[in-house]
Amino acid sequence: MNSKDRSYLRSLAQKLDCTVMVGKAGETRAVADALDSELNIRELVKLRFQNQKERTREIALSLAETTGAQLVATTGFTAVFFRPAKDPSRRQIRLPSQTVRRTAVDA
């Protein structure tokens, strides 16, 4: 994922509510399962940390690895994850790097 894709996903995430919460216990299997479930439904998920501001990035990277998602950004107590739907017909988000641009030669 390039910087243009990340920027695009961050802009989409600004409008999202946090749907997954990480409590004081930190990263648990239940949190990973909840994130995985939300990614299956939405592709782009915002996660909120209740505590552990100093470990936010570390936990977010671990959750991304566990769920097979890409960590888009971490800011303060929030992290944004992206995982495209497995079925191409269910994909709702098209990244700028996936957009085919037509040139005068192609036309």
Question: Looking at the predicted structure, is the pLDDT value of residue 52 above 60?
Answer: yes
49 lies in some domain: yes
Q: The domain containing residue 77 runs over which residues?
A: 3-98
Number of domains composing the chain: 1
Question: Looking at the predicted structure, is the pLDDT value of residue 92 above 80?
Answer: yes
104 lies in some domain: no
Residue 10 and residue 81: Cα distance in Å, rounded? 10
31 lies in some domain: yes
Q: Per-residue confidence at 82, pLDDT binned at 50, 70, 90?
A: very high
Q: At what angle do helices 29-42 and 56-67 cross, to 10 degrees?
A: 60
pLDDT, tens digit, 9 for 90 and up, residues 4-44: 999 999 999 999 999 999 988 778 899 999 999 999 999 99
Q: Report percent pLDDT > 90 for the chain.
A: 57
**What DSSP string runs through 31-69?**
HHHHHHHHHHHHSEEEEEESS-GGGHHHHHHHHHHHHT-
The whole model's pTM is what?
0.85
